[in-house]
Homo-oligomer: A and B are copies of this chain.
Amino acid sequence: MTGTLYGLGVGPGDPELLTLKAARLLASVPVVAFPEPMSGDSLARRIAKPHFRPGIEEIPLRMSCDPAQRDDDGYDQGASIVAGHLEAGRDVAVLCEGDPFFYGSFAYLFARLGGRFPVSVVPGVASVMACSAALDHPLTARDDALVVIPAPRPEADIERLLEAAEAAAIMKIGRHLPKVVGVLNRLGLADCARYIERAAQPGQRILAIGEVERAPYFSMILVHKRGKAWM
């Protein structure tokens, strides 16, 4: 009997935005794995830790979901450690900020282990939802179309996607800030866009587009073309 690989969404940052299901599983699985950043501690671990079963085994994984920091050897190594526990019959919960299947580094583990072991994904509150709650503005209403655009995409892609829908979430801003701001200005969308970083976390910041000087990787710009006309 092999163990089950759980992809556990732990939400966007606020520890209270964990689901009851994630909390229950954390209290029962013997092994937990989580992406560990290059510096600082793991946000996913910090969110989940109060629910860990006593004596739980912790596996920090060197896995970034930033494609610029992609590291196939690191993913292979992480997958191999997790596989060892699963083969020994131990369930492993892999903690994922936000939702595991929404731009999560869990995809890299899933790609390597999904065929070999039973997998169960527990969806979580995605950062996009946390951002629209923090901005106090509906993301989509009625029959709005929404596009989610990773900022590393080429400028022409971002422009084309922004033109295609009534609402947009531009993710992973980071060093792509000048490019994204340029497109928003060119399309005349800067006034219906807002920038937010660390949504649902301490240090949350909301800025108008013209006020943003630099952006971390985990930041987002939401665009609502309708403005207040969504009612």
Contacts and interface: CB of A to CB of B under 8 A. Distances in A.
User: How many chain copies?
Assistant: 2
Interface stretch (A27-35, A140-148, A188-196): A140-148
Contacts of A136: 114, 119, 121
A100 B133 contact: yes
Contacts of A137: 101
Contacts of A78: none
A86 interface: no
A49 B175 CA distance: 45
Interface in A136-190: 136-150, 152-153, 157, 160-161, 164-165
Interface in A114-147: 114, 119, 121-126, 129-130, 132-133, 136-147
Nearest to A126: B129
A23 interface: yes
Given A17-B19, A107-B138, A121 B133 contact: yes
